[in-house]
Amino acid sequence: MTPINRFSAAAVVSGLLAALAYVAFVHTATGQSIENLALRGARQELEFVEQEALLELSGISMAAFAIAIAVVMAIALLRRKPRLAVTAAVIMGSSVVIAEIAKHLLPRPELVEAPPGWLHNSAPSGHVTIAVAIGIGAIIVAPYAFRWLVTIAAAFYAAGISMDVATAGWHRLSGAISATLLVIAVACVGLVVLARLGRVAPFPDRRLLGAIVATVVLGITAVGIGGVGLVFGYARLLPIPEQPTPDQAMLAYSSTLLAAFGVITAAVLVFLWLIRPYGIDERVGTREPMAADPSAEAVTTTR
C-alpha cells in the first residue's frame, strides 16, 4: 500500500470512528444517560481535585496554542524542513477550527431528562483537540529516532487533559474521543498532501526498539486503564437505572476518566505505527551511495 492510500484510508477510518463515537453517545438514550451520569459523578469529586484540574486547563488557551504552533514550526525549521513546518501548523490550526465549527453545528437531541446546562452539544472538545493537536504536531516534526519518545509524552499529555475536562465537568467522553480522532484524521489528510508532493517515503534506517517501548508503555496503559473503565465500569452500569445512586454516578465518572485515558493513548499509539515506516519530508531519496566516477578513479591511480 502506498503512503497516499495508507493515509487516505486512515483519514476516512478516523473520521468514521469520530462520527460513530458522536452518534453512539449523543444520539442514543443510553449514551446520553451514561454521560449525564458521569457529569453528576464529577460534581461529587473532591474540591482540591477539581481545582487542580481547572488549574491545568487554564494553561490551554489560544495564546498558549499559538506558542505551541510556533515551537512546533521552529523545530521543523531548525531541521531545515519548511514544508513540514507549514504542514504541521496547518494540521494543528485547522483541527481546532473544524472542532469549534462542529461543536456548534452538531445537534444534541433531548433524549433523556437533564439540567438545562447539559442539553447543548459539547463534542468534539476544544481543549482536548488543542492538546492532541500539539502532540500530533510534535510527533510529525520530531526526528525519526525520537518519534517514539515524543509519542509517549504526547499521549500522556492529551490523555491527562481529557481527564481534566471530565473532572471539571466541561466535556463528556464523546467530546474527548471525537476530538482525538478528528485531529488524527486531519493529520492524515496533511500527510496525504505531503505524500503527493513526494515528501513521504520509506525510511531507510527503521528501528523497532523505540516503537516497541512505546507500544509496551502505551499499550499496557490503554488496555489496563481503558479496559477497566469500559469493561468493569460502564458494563456494570448497564442498563442505566432510572434513579441512579451517588455511588453509580461516581462509578460512571471514574469509568469516563479511565476510558478517556485509555482510548486516547491507544489512538496516539496507532498513529505512531501508522507513520512508522516513513520518513516525513526527509531526503530519503539521496541516501543511496553515489556511483563511482571512473575518470576520477583513473586520475587517482595515475598520481
207-253, pLDDT tens digit by residue?
Answer: 889 999 999 999 999 998 888 887 778 778 888 888 889 999 999 99
Measured CA to CA, the distance from residue 14 to residue 18 in angstroms comes to 6
**76 or 118, which is more confident?**
76
Which residues fall within 8 angstroms of residue 256, CB to CB, at 6 or more apart? 35, 38, 41, 166, 172, 173, 229
pLDDT for 300 equals 38
User: In the structure grid, which three cell numbers stand for residue 233, read together?
Assistant: 465500569
Kindly indicate the confidence band of residue 283, based on its pLDDT and cuts at 50, 70 and 90: low
pTM for this prediction: 0.90
Please write the tens of the pLDDT for every residue from 151-205.
999 999 999 999 999 999 898 999 999 999 999 999 999 999 999 999 999 998 8
DSSP percent split of the chain into helix, strand, coil, nearest 5: 75, 0, 20
Which residues fall within 8 angstroms of residue 50, CB to CB, at 6 or more apart? 42, 167, 168
Measured CA to CA, the distance from residue 303 to residue 294 in angstroms comes to 15
Extents of the domains making up the chain = 3-283
The DSSP secondary structure of 10-38, one letter per residue, reads: HHHHHHHHHHHHHHHHHSSHHHHHHHHHH
Looking at residue 17, its amino acid is: L
Measured CA to CA, the distance from residue 216 to residue 154 in angstroms comes to 15
